[in-house]
Structures are given as C-alpha cells and as structure tokens.
Amino acid sequence: MARQIAIVAALSAGLGIEARAQPAAAGSPVKIVALGDSLTAGYGLSDKDGFVPRLQAALTAKGIAAEVANAGVSGDTSSDGLARLDWSVPPGTAAVILELGANDMLRGIKPQLTRDALDQILQRLTARHIAVLLCGMRAAPNLGVDYGKAFESIYPDLAARYGVLFYPFFLDGVAGNLKLTQPDGMHPNPAGVGIIVERILPKVEELIGRARAINPS
C-alpha cells in the first residue's frame, strides 16, 4: 500500500472481429469510440463532467458532426483494453481515441507487455481502416529512469510505426496541479477535464478529418 501511495503521489507531481468501418455519408456524424481507462470513463465525475461528454459538447458547439461513445473502464490496463477490443469498438466505428497505459505504469507492469498490447490494438484497428488518435502517458519518477524511458517511448514509437495521430500526454496541463485534480491528486476534476478537452480538441478535429478521408462517402 505504501508503494502504491508513493507511486500515485509521484504521478501527481510528475505527471477477433476484423470488420471494416462503414463509410460515413457526407454530413453524417463520424462515429468515434474513446477506448481507455478511468481517465476516459470519467471516474469520480458526474455524467456531464467526464471527458467524453465534455468532448462531445465541444465538438457540437463547433458544429462538427461526430458522435463520441465512452468505452472507458476504470482500472483497465492495456491488456484489458485489448481483450475487450472487438465489442468495445463495434462495426461502424470510424475513429478511436486510444487512452491506455496509466494503470500498467501504476502497477509496475513491464513496459514490453504494455507495448505488445497497444501494438496489437493498433494493428487490429488499422486493419479495420479505423483512424486512431494515440494518447501518451508519463511514468511516475519513482519507478526509475530506465522504466520511465522504456514506458514513455512506447507511444511515439507505435504512433510512428502505424502512422496514427499522436497526442503526447493525455494529462497535459493538469498533472501535478491540485486545483485541477480530485482529492486523489491524479484524476482530473471538472476544471481539469476542461483543460484536457481544450488542449486535445485540435487533434480530435484532425482525427475526424482523417476518418472521413479514410472512409469517404
């Protein structure tokens, strides 16, 4: 327990079915699945304050035709996300926001296992002609320099390998700021979610454009 508390504190401080996506008709909403852990699920937040509803609201406010489905499961590791990939990302999905790995790191899972799971997810999504935005995560400093380098390199390496869009750090602007996090010092509060959505929104717009290009009407 002491080790887990230390890791959480450090993070706060440092912080199948091979179905092709169906083309969206011109002007019809692009179907997006946010596949992730508690950060995507909206842990500790009201139904309207989580990442997915706030992102949906931001897209709607800009007149962007998109529907974002919440496939976040609190506590999920990358391997858990892989295990439920087929039913979490159903046929007809045009784009995926992939946010996994924080729990791998908090549990000290070997980076190679995380890399392998994310690699398989990306392989299967790209085979289905689904556009992907891969969100990176940072390692807690007290896990050591070697672990940090091995873990953090997973995301840019895989983004380059599969040619997917890349957002370097999902908690950018929020991690380590106690005014933007819940009492656990790790999960964002409503204000923190607002920062995340504001910063990631341009990449999500790019994701939607790429999804339409991959599957034109």
* 129 has catalytic annotation: no
3-class state of residue 132 by DSSP: strand
Q: Helix, strand, coil proportions of the chain in percent (round to 5)?
A: 50, 15, 40
pLDDT of residue 217: 62
* 28 has catalytic annotation: no
pLDDT of residue 131: 98
Q: How many CB atoms lie within 10 A of CB 26?
A: 9
Distance between CA 136 and CA 56 in Å, rounded? 21
pLDDT of residue 145: 97
Radius of gyration of the chain (CA): 17
* Torsion angles phi and psi, residue 97, rounded to 5: -95, 110
Please report the beta strands in 42-154, taking only residues with DSSP state E, as ranges in sequence order: 66-72, 95-99, 131-135
- Tokens representing 102 are 């924080």
* 12 has catalytic annotation: no
Question: Among residues 12, 37, 78, 187, which one is catalytic?
Answer: 187
Q: Is-above-0.85 flag for pTM?
A: yes
pLDDT of residue 27: 66
pLDDT along the chain (217 residues), means of 10: 39 38 59 98 97 98 98 98 98 98 98 98 98 98 97 98 98 97 97 98 98 87
What CATH class is the domain 2-214?
alpha beta
Question: Among residues 12, 37, 38, 79, which one is catalytic?
Answer: 38
